[in-house]
Amino acid sequence: MELKEDEPGEFGLFPLKVHYPVGADQGSCIKGWSLLHWLLREHCCVKTLILPWLIDSKYQRLLSDALHLNSGLKKLTLHNWQAKRGFKDIISAIGTLAQLEELDMELVYLPPSALGCLGNALQRISTLKTLKLPSVDMDVCNANHLSCITQFVKALKGCPKLAVLSSDNFILVPASGEGFAEFVTGSSSLTKLSLCHSPRYHSKECALFMAVGKNNNLEELCLDGFMLYEQAERLLAEVAAQHTGLRYLEVGFYDGFREWEIDGTALADLVGRNTGLRELVFSGGTISCIPKFAEAIPKNTTMQKLTLGLLGMKVPNYRVFLQALALNESLQLVTFKECFYHYFNDIVLLMRETGTEGRLMIDADVVNPPDFENGLKNSTSLTRVAYSNRGAASLTPPGAFRHLLHHHCLRELRIGLQRPIEMESATSLALLLSTTSSLRCATFEFLATASSSRILVEGLAGNTSLTDLSVSFWTVEAPEADLLWRMLRSSRTLKTLTLELLDFPQSPVLDRVPDGLLLNHYLLRAAIQRNPTQSLDMYHDGIHRQVLKKLNVLSTPTFQFGVQELVRRNLSTLHRAVQFVIGSRGRRYAEAFERVSKGSTLVEALKKALAEPEDEIKGRIANSSRYLDE
């Protein structure tokens, strides 16, 4: 576990990546649980606890006792737990957390009999705002099981501040569906409801939809995996059209099974009715509803985002849709979910022809190398590009990446290659990295020789825009590693870094955090050669279909601890800087502000804390700088 400052003055216990379940027979486990017990008992500043692993039953009583004695937890996450005898004690202890605001049990599996205990616990937590319910191992033919579900649904009415609720559809089975509909109708606090369909249960969606229509406080409704028949779809669309508060609606799921289809006509009509809905996500239909969406879109003046996952989309279908989108002024972004994407260049030409560049995103990797090159050549306004030729029959043209230099609005770039990158391609990417002012996120997953890696690292060293960088399978020798650390020392924009570099004989041992990285005060998340000493020497890489040597000697536990300590320090520094701008005074606040005042992380943290426009935030920072100068 890792203790770090999650919010100013508030700490959390978070999991570190390990290769064994918590509670396994390690000699240090009892010491760790004793320390956790002490932290939860004595320190009310610990506000977050995340336990994602299976907990051995012999430690469950220790955990339940710690929860009983705690007086500060606001967020508790329990994942991957199976119900055992001691688990009811933990559920009972959860009910004593008087300040708990968020409880996540989404990946916990409970028997129906445990729901009674959970319902009683929830009713004792008057502060609970967010609840993700566990899965239930229920027999729908068992009367006792159904009775337990019904009683639990009644208990939800005892949560007066519950605003966000997530569950699978066991709460919609006929025995409890009416009761849950009553809960939704009567709740004055519920603003977001997410339900995930499980084929094990026959659920009563129509009663739920009627209840949603009677609760105008609800702002978001997510029906993940629900395959609606025509009558249910029409009812949902009518409810959404009449609803005065609903802003986000998600329904269906997207995969390659054609036998599961939602008609989509009623949802297309919903788009044309200019409701209060700002975003619609619809998956599981086919191209048969494209004409209806094309008819509705020009009429809409209120919707801002639309996501469609439709089976069988081809270039002519995109043409019809984009011609309609060109007549709409409110939709800022339309996203299409695709499994395969073989017509990148055709879509680029269509966007240019219809004047819809920057408003369409296709959620899939470009896979055809010549198509990729032609698409880059025929446009200069792409903002996101994802390319993967891992299954392509032909190689990527050496000059393809050169065209990226003309895309001055590019913000996200993801590249995965089946074979080692060629020198010409590496040179083009390096030039892009060193000259771009727009690129924020970059992910590179390909083999690179020492010479290619040298060119790429030199490009990274000249970059001043990236906030998120992930690099895998490069061969970085000692001089380039030094250059990489120097780049990190001077970077004021990079917040997230992932490095998984290949093994090679000349590599230095990473047994301590390099000075360049230690002097970076802006990095907030980092994964560098994570836990290689606990992995196999050889592993099969599914991405490249080959066996690679795993990095074993290039990282030590001391190094990993140092990286996490650096991230913890930077988070605390950022929190102190935020407090300084807001008005806290004192040497530690002022020093923290001086360290991070010139980076973008402070601006973003203040926007989150104050919910003010960026210009006002920058004005606050400037005033704080003048205060220090006086």
Using CA atoms, how far apart are residues 72 and 49, in angstroms rounded to an integer?
11
- For 347-380, give one letter per residue: b (16+ CB within 10 A) or e: bbbbbeebebbebbbbebbbbbbebbbbbbeebe
Rounded to whole angstroms, the Cα distance separating 12 from 7 reads 9
User: Could you tell me which residues are beta bridge partners of residue 366?
Assistant: 387
Q: Which residues does the chain have with pLDDT short of 70?
A: 1, 8-10, 15-29, 52-56, 80-86, 200-201, 254-260, 339-340, 391-393, 503-511, 530-555
DSSP state of 366: B
CATH fold for domain 379-555: 3.80.10
Please report, to the nearest 10 degrees, the dihedral formed by the alpha carbons of residues 116, 120, 122, 123 taken in order: 140
Residue among 238, 235, 189, 183 at smallest CA distance from 211: 183
Fill in the amino acid letter for 206: C
Distance of CA 622 to the CA centre of its chain: 32
Which of 468, 338, 334, 459 is CA-nearest to residue 404?
459
pLDDT score recorded for residue 265? 94
What does the pLDDT read at residue 538?
44
Task: Give me the residue label for tokens 């849709």.
Answer: 321
Cα–Cα distance, 36 to 64 (Å, whole number):
11
Q: For 279-331, give the DSSP string.
A: EEEEEEEEGGGHHHHHHHGGG-SS--EEEEEEET--HHHHHHHHHHHTT-SS-
Q: What is the pLDDT of residue 64?
A: 87
Cα separation, 12 vs 1, whole angstroms: 10
> Strand runs (DSSP E) across 475-524, as ranges?
496-500
- Interior angle at CA 383, CA 382 and CA 385, nearest 5: 80
Is this structure's pTM higher than 0.85?
Answer: yes
Contact (Cβ atoms closer than 8 angstroms) between residue 498 and residue 468: no
Give dist(CA 83, CA 550) in Å, integer.
Answer: 36
HSE value, Cβ hemisphere, 13 Å, CA-based, for 619: 5
Give the orientation angle of helix 315-325 with respect to helix 344-354, to 10 degrees.
Answer: 20
Written as six digits, the tokens of 454 are 């040298």
Query: How much is the pLDDT for 242?
Result: 95
Give residue 182's identity as a one-letter amino acid code: E
CA distance to 153, 168, 198, 209, 326, per residue, from 184 (Å): 10, 15, 20, 10, 39
Reported as a single tens digit per residue, the pLDDT across 315-356 is 999 999 999 999 999 999 999 988 667 899 999 999 999 999
CB 46 within 8 A of CB 39: yes
Residue 10 three-state SS = strand
* Residues with Cβ within 8 Å of residue 77, at least 6 apart in sequence: 49, 50, 51, 52, 104
CA distance 103 to 120: 14
Report how far residue 104's alpha carbon sits from residue 77's, in angstroms, rounded to the nearest whole number: 5
Please name the residues in contact with 212: beta carbons below 8 A apart, sequence gap of 6 or more: 184, 193, 218, 221, 239, 243, 246
Angle 500-501-507 (CA atoms, 0-180°, nearest 5)?
140
Residue 257: partners with Cβ closer than 8 Å, 6 or more residues away: none
The Cα 250–Cα 304 span in angstroms is 14
Q: Which residue has the tokens 């290769």?
A: 19
pLDDT digits (tens, 9 = 90+) for 578-596: 999 999 989 999 999 999 9
Q: DSSP class of residue 24?
A: S
Distance CA 380, CA 407 (A): 4
Closest CA to 366 of 358, 376, 355: 376
Q: Region of 167 please: left (phi>0), alpha (psi -120 to 50) or beta.
A: beta
CA atoms within 13 A on the CB side of 139: 5
Q: What share of the chain is helix, strand, coil (3-state, %, to 5)?
A: 40, 20, 40
